[in-house]
Amino acid sequence: MVALMLLYMPSYGGVNIPLSLVVCALLALPTAATYGMLAATMPRSGGDYVYVSRVLGPAFGMMSNWNTTVWWVLYGGVPSAFLASFGIAPLVRILAAMTGNAGLLSVADWAASPWGTFIIGALLIVALTGIFILGLGVFFRVQNLLFALAMLAVVLVVVAALVQTPERLAAELNRHLATLTGLDDTVGTIIETSGYSVQPFDLRTTLIAMTWIYLTMGFSFSSAYIGGEVKQASRIQVWAIPSTVVYALVWGLLLVWTVTRAAGEQLVGAISTLGDAGAGEVGLSAVPRFHELVAIGSDNLILAFLIGFGFIFWSYAWLPGQILNASRNLVAYAVDGLMPSWLAYVSPRFHTPVASLVVMGGLSIVSLGIYVFTPYFATLVGIFGFLLTFIVVSLSAVLLPYRRPELFRGSPVAWRLGGLPVMSLVGALSLVACVIMQWAYLNDPYSGISLDPSTLEQGILGFGMFLLNVAIFLSGLVIYAIARWWRRRQGIDLSLAYREIPVE
């Protein structure tokens, strides 16, 4: 999240990043709390498919959840690609700069190249799919270890940045980068070449730039999709999901403050303005990520390695959730009869949905290829589509206490405030927050989505991508109608499955 923020947001001009971070967290919290309450009430795999179908009806449930499944698949290409560009390549560049071994740059350049990115990302997807087949217990043991290493890197960045000054950091960067760039003053050249200058505060731009924060912070509720596999889900989910947003906010503010203080607003803004596309003008294949600045500026090889190595495990952090989420969605469809029963096959040895995981792994590799080798999928274009589902989920939370009163009364979150169900109030806040974020994505010039029909001249981006988002959202209705027709021909009434919560 912070890597994306510091790489892209300063170039918008007039952005107050800490304020943007706080506002985005306030907007993400109601949706996180909504999912937490619904996950506590109906702790079943499939997430919003279960919630929406049991409150608003099966057609809406399929429309809402099929939408997220498609985007989980498409976004399988983004974090798997980030493993190279935000994880492995920066680590190798850090080692090249600290050791003065310019030959290592060829390794970093290959890792960040289209084929390097694709091969590394595909191997990651295969590895994760294999781990998931072995079971969530195996995955969580691996995840806990890698999370500890990743958090160690964050702590080291904060500590190393706190003892730095912009002048000392620039001097160390110039000394270590000289071998790679051939420049005596790499930092000064970056600032001069970028043409960046600090702009006065602009509230509208600060709000629009939240799109890069919400890209990660807005998805704190992934555990809701594996609700049937979370121990004591009814007690844990309601606080664990919103706590994730708070956790990200605290560390995000700390990192932004310490790194900006250490590097200086001018250098951070210049790197963002120059971007990877302009890095060649200063002798670099890519501009340094924020942790690279601190690592190289520390002038300590061991510390620099620990920072770069630990950040590898942040670079793909949301990919595991995507593969898991979509695979559980496929299982839920199959259980309710909407899709072939083989998608719900669970290995008797590993107790995992092997078929749906293999399908998700394969589709994620395809999406990785689309993301890496074509211009048709910008990083932010699908979040507008995700938000359409969040809006439907929020509406379900508002209506659940009234449409399923017996379910609400028996839930661990049957709280009331002034006579009104807290779940309904939180759902209403989430609804408003999602609409605000939709406004941000539609007005962000870098989101790849627009309401301007003239952008159709740019291929499928812009207005075309807006239409695609809407089409994907509505396609679930078509799938449900076809499945219902087919099952009716077989003498099966699909509506009966939705009168009860799925078996655990």
Left (φ > 0), alpha (ψ -120 to 50) or beta: where does 277 sit?
alpha
Q: What is the pLDDT of residue 498?
A: 67
pLDDT of res. 167: 96
- Delimit the domains of the chain by residue range: 2-499
Query: Is residue 459 predicted with pLDDT exceeding 60?
Result: no
Distances (CA, A) of 365 to 34, 77, 353, 358: 32, 7, 19, 11
pLDDT at 500 over 80: no
| pLDDT at position 378 over 90 | no
Span of 106-115, 223-232, 443-452 with lowest mean pLDDT: 223-232
Q: What is the tens place of the pLDDT at every residue in 475-494?
A: 999 999 998 898 888 888 77
pLDDT at 281: 92
pLDDT higher than threshold 80 for residue 495: no
Q: Give dist(CA 397, CA 25) in Å, integer.
A: 20
> Is 90 exceeded by the pLDDT of residue 461?
no
| Segment 259-274, tens digit of pLDDT | 999 999 999 999 999 9
**What is the structure's pLDDT at 102?**
83
Tokens of 84: 């190279």
- Return the DSSP state at 287: P
Q: What is the 3-state secondary structure (H, E, C) of 331-399?
A: HHHHHCCCCCHHHHCCCCCCCCCHHHHHHHHHHHHHHHHHHHHCCCCCCCCCHHHHHHHHHHHHHHHHH
pLDDT of residue 460: 57
Cβ atoms of residues 69 and 480 within 8 Å: no
Across 104-113, 119-128, 292-301, 459-468, least confident range: 459-468
* Distance from C-alpha of 58 to C-alpha of 259, rounded to nearest angstrom: 48
Residue 190 has pLDDT above 90, yes or no: yes
Give the confidence band of 168 by pLDDT, cuts at 50, 70, 90: very high
Q: Give the pLDDT band of residue 402 (cuts 50, 70, 90).
A: very high
pLDDT of residue 421: 97
Instruction: Provide the residue count of the chain.
Output: 504
Out of 227-236, 298-307, 345-354, 423-432, least confident range: 227-236
Model confidence at 305, pLDDT cuts 50, 70, 90, reads: very high
SS3 assignment, position 464: helix
Residue 75 has pLDDT above 90, yes or no: no
For the CA atoms of 163, 151, 274, 455, the dihedral, rounded to the nearest 10 degrees, stands at -150
Does the 2-499 domain belong in CATH 1.20.1740.10? yes
pLDDT digits (tens, 9 = 90+) for 212-253: 999 999 988 888 888 767 777 778 888 999 999 999 999 999
Q: Which long-range contacts (CB under 8 A, 24 or more apart) does 296-300 make?
A: 296/94, 296/97, 296/98, 296/172, 296/173, 296/176, 296/177, 297/160, 297/164, 297/168, 297/169, 297/172, 297/173, 297/262, 297/263, 298/160, 298/164, 298/172, 299/172, 299/176
pLDDT at 347 over 80: yes
